[in-house]
């Protein structure tokens, strides 16, 4: 009986460790990098070292304009990564730019 409980305990521990390992590796599939572009910033997202998104301009606005700050590029890039990890449509709305306080008015 004691041996059976130990085997079950070890089995549960192994399953938990595998689950944490899989979850950790899924979260590491995407990598965000920022880069300078013209008079501002953009971001790239890589999936397992393969470039899948290169965003040189602020999405969802009518003019082509880079992010004013690296912080703005990071905020929206991280939002995009979270969407990709949750298997949601990888798009950014104008409302999401406002909610994340992205500077839409500075022109350099």
Q: In the chain, what are the domain boundaries?
A: 30-99
At 85 the pLDDT is 96
Query: What is the average pLDDT score of the chain?
Result: 87
3 — pLDDT class (breaks 50, 70, 90):
confident
What's the whole-number mean pLDDT along residues 10-18? 71
The answer to whether 41 touches 35, Cβ cutoff 8 Å, is yes
What's the whole-number mean pLDDT along residues 36-51? 96
Say if residue 75's pLDDT is above 70. yes
């Amino acid at each position: 009986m004691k041996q059976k409980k130990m085997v079950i305990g070890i089995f549960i521990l192994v399953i938990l460790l595998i689950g944490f390992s899989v979850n950790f590796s899924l979260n590491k599939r995407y990598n965000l990098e920022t880069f300078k572009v013209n008079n501002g910033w953009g971001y790239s997202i890589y999936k397992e070292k393969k470039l899948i998104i290169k965003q040189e301009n602020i999405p969802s606005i009518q003019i082509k304009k880079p992010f004013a700050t690296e912080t703005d590029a990071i905020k929206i890039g991280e939002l995009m990564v979270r969407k990709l990890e949750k298997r949601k449509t990888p798009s950014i709305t104008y409302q999401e730019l406002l909610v994340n306080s992205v500077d839409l008015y500075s022109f350099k």
